[in-house]
């Protein structure tokens, strides 16, 4: 079996482990955070968690978000456990449908959300100052490793940069324009998946674009009528920014 290590492999698994006690090597900040989570979140709502564990998840919404640690979909949308099915990748991109036998983590998550969980909404959530988008804009920086996984992944933005940047947005801020365009491109790529296209045509699935400003907390939602990202502060109950 090719995935099993052989005697000729240079490093057995034991050499890859941190030296010393594995528990001691676990970041203390995470253990402290876990303690608070148990006290404040899990224990007071334990019956809800037990119900989720027994009956499974039934989220109505899938969110495709960036890996960026400053952008947390559950926090932004005030969602509890079981409410959002979240996929995070560099720059919240969706590749086009490509059944080529290779590994496709985002497509696999999409397939599960749509076909098994039967979510009713998919939200592609972009954000400001996206490092992935910045890397694409500064394409001359070179790969971070010989594999250049980021470079390959971010090439998904090429059609967006060409076709989906609105001139006014580009003039205002090229990175912002490309962050918006990346969301539009991902929505277009979502529609290359036959199951997504079919369910959307039947009115059983809705696709949405949104963009979050980390500093101000502003959320902009892609307006289907205007094709622009509009502030959602005019919607009922949402306060305007100070």
Residues that bind Zn ion (CB under 5 A): 66, 68, 91, 130
CB of 133 vs Zn ion, minimal distance in Å? 7
Token look-up 């009922």 returns 236
User: Least Å distance between CB 89 and Zn ion?
Assistant: 9
The least CB distance from residue 107 to Zn ion, in Å, is 19
Sheet with 229-231, edge to edge strand ranges: 84-89, 61-66, 121-127, 206-212, 219-222, 229-231
CB closer to Zn ion out of 114 and 222: 222
Task: Specify whether the CB–CB gap between 79 and 160 falls below 8 A.
Answer: no
**Residue ranges with strand state E in the chain:** 61-66, 84-89, 121-127, 206-212, 219-222, 229-231
Q: How far is the CB of 190 from Zn ion (least distance, A)?
A: 18
Query: Catalytic one among 88, 130, 164, 220?
Result: 130
Q: Of 87 and 130, which has the nearer Cβ to Zn ion?
A: 130
Distances (CA, A) of 62 to 23, 55, 138, 225, 232: 34, 19, 31, 22, 20
234 is catalytic: no
Indicate the residue among 85 and 212 with the shorter CB distance to Zn ion. Answer: 212
Q: Annotated catalytic, 67?
A: no
Q: Active-site residue among 88, 127, 164, 220?
A: 127
Residue 17's CB is within 10 A of a number of other CB atoms, namely 10
Which is nearer to Zn ion, 70 or 118 (by Cβ)?
70
Question: If you ran DSSP here, which 8-state letter would residue 220 be given?
Answer: E
Which residue, 91 or 113, has its beta carbon nearer to Zn ion? Answer: 91
Given the residues 66, 88, 128, 220, select the one marked as catalytic.
Answer: 66
Q: Is residue 70 annotated as part of the catalytic site, yes or no?
A: yes
Q: How far is the CB of 117 from Zn ion (least distance, A)?
A: 25
Which of the following is catalytic: 38, 46, 70, 204?
70
Contact 88, 66 (CB under 8 A): yes
Q: Residue 125: which of 57, 216, 214 has the closest Cα?
A: 214
Per annotation, catalytic residue among 68, 88, 128, 165: 68
Positions annotated as catalytic residues are 66, 68, 70, 127, 130
């Amino acid at each position: 079996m090719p995935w099993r290590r052989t005697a000729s492999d240079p490093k057995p698994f034991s050499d890859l482990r941190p030296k010393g006690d594995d528990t001691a090597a676990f970041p203390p900040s995470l253990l402290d955070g876990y303690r608070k989570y148990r006290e404040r979140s899990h224990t007071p709502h334990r019956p809800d968690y037990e119900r989720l564990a027994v009956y499974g998840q039934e989220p109505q919404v899938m969110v495709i978000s960036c890996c960026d640690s400053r952008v947390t979909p559950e926090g932004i949308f005030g969602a509890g456990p079981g409410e959002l099915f979240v996929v995070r990748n560099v720059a919240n991109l969706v590749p086009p449908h490509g059944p080529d036998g290779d590994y496709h983590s985002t497509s696999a998550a999409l397939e599960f959300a749509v076909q098994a969980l039967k979510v009713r909404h998919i939200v592609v959530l972009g954000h400001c100052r996206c490092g992935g988008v910045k890397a694409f804009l500064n394409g001359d920086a070179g790969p971070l490793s010989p594999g250049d996984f980021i470079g390959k992944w971010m090439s998904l933005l090429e059609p967006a940069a060409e076709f989906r940047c609105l001139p006014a947005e580009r003039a205002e801020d090229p990175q912002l324009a490309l962050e918006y365009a990346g969301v539009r491109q991902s929505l277009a790529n979502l529609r290359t998946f036959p199951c997504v296209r079919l369910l959307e045509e039947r009115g059983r699935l809705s696709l949405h674009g949104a963009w979050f400003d980390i500093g101000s907390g502003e959320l902009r939602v892609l307006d289907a009528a205007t094709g622009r990202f509009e502030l959602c502060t005019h919607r009922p109950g949402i306060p305007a920014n100070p």
